[in-house]
Copies of this chain bind each other. A is one copy, B any other.
Amino acid sequence: MSVVLSRRDVDFLLFEWLDAAGLTERERYAEHSRDTFDAVLDLAETIATRQFAPINRLLDTQEPVVGEDGKVVLPAELSEALRVYAESGMPAATFDAEVGGMQLPFAVGQGAFAFLQAASAAAASYPFLSTGNASLLVEHGSPEQVERYALPVIEGRWYGTMALSEPQAGSSLGDITTRAVRQPDGTYRLFGTKMWISGGDHELSENIVHLVLAKVEGAPAGVKGISLFIVPKFLVEPDGSLGERNDVALVGLNHKMGWRGTTNTLLNFGEGLATPGGAAGAVGDIVGEEGHGLAQMFHMMNEARISVGMGAVALGYTGYLHSLEYAKQRTQGRVAGAKDPSLPQVPLTEHADVRRMLLAQKSYVEGGLGLLLYCARLVDEQVSGADEAARTRAHDLLEVLTPIAKSWPSQWCLAANDLAIQVHGGSGYTRDYAVEQFYRDNRLNPIHEGTHGIQSLDLLGRKVVAGGGAGLATLVGAIKDTTGRAVAGDATLAAYAAQLDERVDRLAEVTGTLWAGGDPAVALANSAVYLEAAGHVVMAWIWLEQLLAVGDRRDAFFDGKRAAARYFFAFELPKVGPQFDLLASLDRTVLDVDPAVL
């Protein structure tokens, strides 16, 4: 079996559970068939295995550096891997046909891209960010902007970035200070410094399209004053040819614990190339209207958060497969009750605690993959659902699931990576084995694209209360629909359904309790605990859904699903009990503490 990602599992989830093949009956995907989906998955798996996985360690050890000419130096092997990826047509996978895309379902695109993310988080980050960038322009840009800036990215010729954070404004985007000055010709000139810009500079492509948040002079304070600008590294002529170097300067590269193959930059806009007498500043082209920047960015960010969650799943999944392979091959000791030292040593998989660590990983990563593909499938439903009601339901469900889809794998598939190291023992702690890199790489995911804390405020402060609680009601309804089908199953399924029913009722009840007082400070004080409890309830639901898709089929794969679900219901779901108790008590520990005593 490949240790990158389980194709069997992706196929099961997409085709035996989520009926991705059924999408081809819809007009939007009518050009496709199960065969074309398979072909894309085959392609992704092949590129991941042959081009990405073999260079993953290299990208970790040969970090980008700035050469004497000021250009970023990356390993040639990365250029080659990305060239193969670009030439495969994969960058266009989920884009509409009218912009040159394959118009694949997002679920299939995500399933395919997960192979790349599992093989090399760093290598995959370049197309990952670029897809988000072009997707935003396709949604919000003018036709000219799409043609000039998005098409080259969709074609895989250019890369794109998202330039949001600044040194003083990370989670608090309302506090950005990058200025945009209107010019008589309708363009803008930008001045400011952007931090943590992944893919912010490199020589992998002839141009880089930065999407930059800035405030037009005189704009209101806070998020309402934010606008979005296209700021290419090289100016682009109307015919698509490249013009002058724009005033975007690489100030420095960040050096991270993991994810080292991704250039992560500090960029100055409008300070490096100011010419006497000329119009100083970085030339920017506004997207849509002034003041709409954050809303536009959020449209992209929702899909980006799903992709980040998938990235966390992918790293957890590949770590699980690596540790499973190791545990099957490595012998050590003997099992409880059969300690005769004259007997040969047994494989690690014979030890109960190693099985626990493998089952835990399996429950996290297969559950996570299920959740992320389910969310991706909702994206497809949003755009291709049979009627308004179906599309609205998909939208509402996706809204409430997105913070969980981003944060749950970032926590638990990182925990899986921790267990993958532990299964390896001392070897897992060395750089001779892959799992330590997965752990370091995955540690980024609870931070970027909105930290764990930000996701928790999004879920409890916005998503579950949106539309008078419609978001939560939709989720509860969806879960109840599943448990309703499961109680009709065998005794095991019925027992799981009963457990889940109780927990989802508690989730709804506790949500009401938290907001009953109407004081956001009190309601949100323990939002991270709420996020984690809600996440485990959702994951139990995803596992129950998977078991329903398994039905009464039996083989190693299906029995593995049963075992992982059993683990999740026995070891994991009960953890929410004390969490809900804490939340229901409106615990004030963190509110009351005086920071001076810390």
Contacts and interface: CB of A to CB of B under 8 A. Distances in A.
Nearest to A328: B595
Interface string A467-491: 0000000000000000000000000
Interface stretch (A48-56, A71-79, A422-430, A504-512): A422-430
* Copies per assembly: 2
A171 B590 contact: no
A535 to B, nearest CB: 15
A16 to B, nearest CB: 17
Interface hub of A430, A439, A570, A581 (most chain B Cβ within 10 A):
A570
A587 B570 contact: yes
A257 to B, nearest CB: 4
Contact of A582 (B335, B341, B456, B570): B570
A222 B339 CA distance: 9
A544 to B, nearest CB: 16
Interface stretch (A183-191, A269-277, A377-385, A572-580): A572-580
Nearest to A528: B353
Contacts of A353: 453, 456-457, 527-528, 590
A351 B577 CA distance: 25
Interface in A332-364: 332-337, 341-342, 345, 347, 349-356, 358-359, 362
Given A345-B172, A352-B525, A447-B425, A590 B336 contact: no
A221 B341 contact: yes
A597 B453 contact: no
User: Size range of the interface on A?
Assistant: 35 or more
A35 interface: no
Contacts of A559: 594, 597
B595 A347 contact: yes
Given A171-B425, A258-B429, A560-B598, 19 more contacts: A165-B426, A175-B332, A223-B341, A254-B430, A256-B436, A257-B436, A350-B595, A351-B453, A352-B591, A353-B590, A354-B453, A422-B451, A425-B451, A426-B447, A426-B448, A556-B596, A566-B589, A567-B589, A571-B589
Interface of A: 165, 168-172, 174-175, 195-196, 221-223, 254-258, 324, 327-328, 331-337, 341-342, 345, 347, 349-356, 358-359, 362, 418, 421-422, 425-426, 428-432, 436, 439-440, 443-444, 446-448, 451-453, 456-457, 461, 519-521, 523-529, 556-557, 559-560, 562-563, 566-567, 570-571, 574-575, 577-578, 581-582, 587, 589-598
